[in-house]
Structure 1
Amino acid sequence: MFGLTNQIRRCAVSVPSNIAEGCGRNTSKETIHFLFIARGSLYELETQIYLSSDQNYLTEERLKITLNQIILCKKLLNGFINYYRQK
């Protein structure tokens, strides 16, 4: 459980950290690169959440709530990526 918890925290912290780093870059291309890294971390987080559920660390209700939040974050991040692609 400790390993899974640690990995979830690392993924969750990685998302906003990469968004922030991307926004601090000089070009849209560099920004997009870090936004894609953030999106990858979201997919990794989603996998860790499914694993947590498989191990019965999460209730079905908590799983649904968390996955809905991850989906919302993916949509927001994809919108951000599309915005920078148009620049």
Structure 2
Amino acid sequence: EDPSVTRDRRAEVSGELDRAMAEVDLTYAEDGLAIFAAPGEHQVWTLSRSVPERVVLSDTFLTRNLVAAQAAERPFWVLSVAADRVT
């Protein structure tokens, strides 16, 4: 327990985690799940790649796995050119 974090603040983050977990639908889950919680906010992300299990307590979100997964899923366009057609 960190003495610099008040009981109210811990309860608020715990409540955000509860709300985040209520949003998780394992029917649509992918290979990984990232949950971010802070006082007054939470985010739930499903990822198409597995991520290591971990809990991080910090003043910022650890988004490394989220950024890597999003970068790997960037859409791309392909232009195919032949002498008689373009697709």
TM-score w.r.t. structure 2 length? 0.32
Higher relative contact order structure (alpha carbons within 8 Å, sequence separation ≥ 6): 1
Would you tell me which structure has more helix in proportion to its own residues?
A: 1
Would you tell me which structure has more strand in proportion to its own residues?
A: 2
Larger Rg: 2
TM-score w.r.t. structure 1 length? 0.32
